[in-house]
């Protein structure tokens, strides 16, 4: 892929159609992703909002096989411990929505193949008052996911690595002042982008005030 081809990629993708079809892509080809394209999706992240425009984000793209394996080994262990009880519980409940079981199995597939994802992109950030500026990092992360959708890359948002956060951050050269917040495994998709399953906005949107008894406990 030439620099000009990378630069042109995704520039014509309609914003709203792109974001409606940016489902989590967890089955990835092993083909490499040009560094220029990694730069391009990270640049999209830098256009996110942040308090006082502090732009606290730092990106670390891990592409070397042995370094991906180091991270994947830890992710897989943590994910298995979390997901197997959840899948067993879901499968024993006849009312559990099959779409959610499929989502769990896709997440398990990602965990088992994480080392094969050509790019493990970490988004980290400067802390403020000792805590990570995750409120500023998540819009940035979402921009990266949308940029991946626009250029045709598959990606998903994960945080399981945080269970081994200090060890992985040290491995990435991140300090206590700049902990990682999310890991986006990125690569060319095996499947296609498409609409993720979502409840209708009509079940979520209220104008002016939520009617009595409509949702949970009132705040006053």
Ligand X SMILES: Cc1cc2nc3c(=O)[nH]c(=O)nc-3n(C[C@H](O)[C@H](O)[C@H](O)COP(=O)(O)O)c2cc1C
Binding site for ligand X (CB under 6 A): 23-24, 103, 107, 110, 156-160, 196-197
In the complex, the smallest distance separating the C-beta of residue 3 from ligand X, rounded to whole angstroms, is: 31
Q: Which residues pair with 180 in a beta bridge?
A: 124
In the complex, the smallest distance separating the C-beta of residue 183 from ligand X, rounded to whole angstroms, is: 7
Q: With helix as H, strand as E and coil as C, how does the chain read?
A: CCHHHHHHCCCCCCHHHHHHCECCCCCECCCCCCHHHHHHHHHHHCCCCCHHHCCCEEEEEECCHHHHHHHHHHHHHHHHHHHHHHHHHHHCCCCCCHHHHHHHHHHHHHHHHHHHCCEEEEEEECEECCEECHHHHHHHHHHHHHHHHHHCCEECCECHHHHHHHHHHHHHCCCCCCCEEEEEEEECECCCCECCCCCCHHHCCCCCCCCCCCCCCCCC
- Closer of 28 and 107 to ligand X (Cβ): 107
In the complex, the smallest distance separating the C-beta of residue 5 from ligand X, rounded to whole angstroms, is: 28
- Closer of 2 and 131 to ligand X (Cβ): 131
In angstroms, the CA 31 to CA 34 distance is: 10
Q: Which residues pair with 187 in a beta bridge?
A: 154
Contacts of 90 (CB under 8 A, 6+ apart): 96, 100, 101, 104
Phi first, then psi: give them for residue 124, nearest 5 degrees: -120, 175
In the complex, the smallest distance separating the C-beta of residue 201 from ligand X, rounded to whole angstroms, is: 15
- Closer of 44 and 155 to ligand X (Cβ): 155
- Closer of 6 and 182 to ligand X (Cβ): 182
- Closer of 6 and 153 to ligand X (Cβ): 153
In the complex, the smallest distance separating the C-beta of residue 85 from ligand X, rounded to whole angstroms, is: 15
- Closer of 33 and 160 to ligand X (Cβ): 160
In the complex, the smallest distance separating the C-beta of residue 110 from ligand X, rounded to whole angstroms, is: 5
In the complex, the smallest distance separating the C-beta of residue 203 from ligand X, rounded to whole angstroms, is: 16
- Closer of 40 and 149 to ligand X (Cβ): 149
């Amino acid at each position: 892929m030439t620099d000009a081809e990378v630069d042109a990629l995704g520039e014509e993708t309609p914003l709203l159609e792109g974001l409606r079809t940016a489902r989590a892509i967890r089955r990835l080809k092993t083909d490499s992703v040009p560094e220029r394209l990694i730069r391009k999706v990270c640049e999209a992240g830098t256009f996110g909002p942040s308090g006082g425009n502090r732009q606290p984000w730092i990106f670390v793209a891990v592409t070397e096989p042995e370094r991906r394996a180091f991270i994947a080994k830890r992710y897989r262990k943590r994910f298995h411990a979390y997901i197997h009880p959840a899948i067993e519980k879901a499968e024993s409940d006849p009312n559990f929505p099959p779409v959610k079981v499929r989502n769990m199995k896709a997440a398990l597939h990602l965990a088992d193949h994480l080392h094969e994802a050509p790019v493990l992109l970490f988004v980290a950030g400067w802390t403020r008052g000792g805590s990570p500026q995750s409120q500023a990092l998540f819009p940035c992360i979402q921009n990266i996911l949308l940029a991946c959708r626009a250029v045709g890359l598959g990606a998903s948002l994960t945080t399981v690595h945080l269970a081994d956060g200090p060890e992985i951050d040290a491995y990435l050269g991140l300090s206590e002042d700049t902990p990682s917040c999310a890991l986006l495994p990125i690569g060319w998709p095996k499947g296609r982008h498409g609409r993720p399953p979502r409840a209708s906005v009509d079940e979520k949107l209220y104008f002016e005030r939520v009617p009595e008894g409509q949702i949970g406990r009132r705040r006053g």
